[in-house]
Structure 1
Amino acid sequence: MCTGIPLQVIQNDGLRALCGDSQDEQWVDMQLVGPQEEGTWVLVFLGAAREVVSANRAKNIADALKALTQVMNGTLEYDQSLFADLNDREPELPEHLKSQLNPVNSTTR
């Protein structure tokens, strides 16, 4: 499984950039998203930026990863703030599954 990590551009060096979060800094391949300004958030998979994301989206992803780490360590105490984007929201099925919710009209014989 490959997990995207949100990192912020610290220093731009053409098609690579020094990116980091509160715990780590690393050089990231920027070829798929192009050069980005300092302060821009990118989603990084296997050392390459795959998507430019907003600061809010980066925070939501980082919070979800924090919760996942706590679950894996057996230390999670439910904290709604870690899934702020899911609070007060009904789950939604993907479009291809919504049609399966409607019961097929059957006739009695």
Structure 2
Amino acid sequence: MCLGLPMTVVDGDDFSALCEWHGETRRVSTLLVGRQAPGARLLIHLDSAIRVLDDAEAETIGRALDGLAAAAEGRPFEHLFADLMDREPELPAHLRK
């Protein structure tokens, strides 16, 4: 399974950006999203930025990934999915009929 990571731009140029998430830094291609200022949040997949994220969406994705890691390690994870605990799952608006 491949997952996208919500990373934060530290520095960049017209073609790439140095991004950080959970203490890991990596240089990624920004050809699909264009040059991004430091502090921008990007969804990174296979070392390419595929979408610019707002802070709320980046935090939601980050919590979900942290929750998956916690569940796999046998640690408590329910608090990381608080937005899902009291409702039925829903498709995103763009996937609804």
Structure number with higher strand proportion: 2
* 1:76 Cα deviation from its structure 2 partner: 2.6
Structure 1 residue 44: deviation in Å? 0.2
Query: Which residue in the other structure is 2:59 paired with?
Result: 59
- Alignment partner, residue 102 of structure 1: none
Structure having the higher Rg: 1
Equivalent in the alignment of 1:7: 7
Residue of structure 2 in register with 1:45 after alignment:
45
Give 1:24 deviation, angstroms: 0.7
Unaligned runs of 5+ in 2: none
> 2:24 is matched with which residue?
24
What is the distance in 1 between the residues matched to 2:63 and 2:53?
15
* Moved beyond 6 Å, runs of 4+: none
Q: What amino acid does structure 2 have at the position aligned with 1:83?
A: F
Contact 1:16 1:30 in 2 (8 A): yes
Q: Indicate the percent of aligned positions where both proteins have the same amino acid.
A: 38
Tell me the secondary structure at the aligned position of residue 86 of structure 1: helix
Root mean square deviation of aligned Cα: 1.9
TM-score (norm 1): 0.76
Q: Which runs of 5+ in 1 are unaligned?
A: 97-109
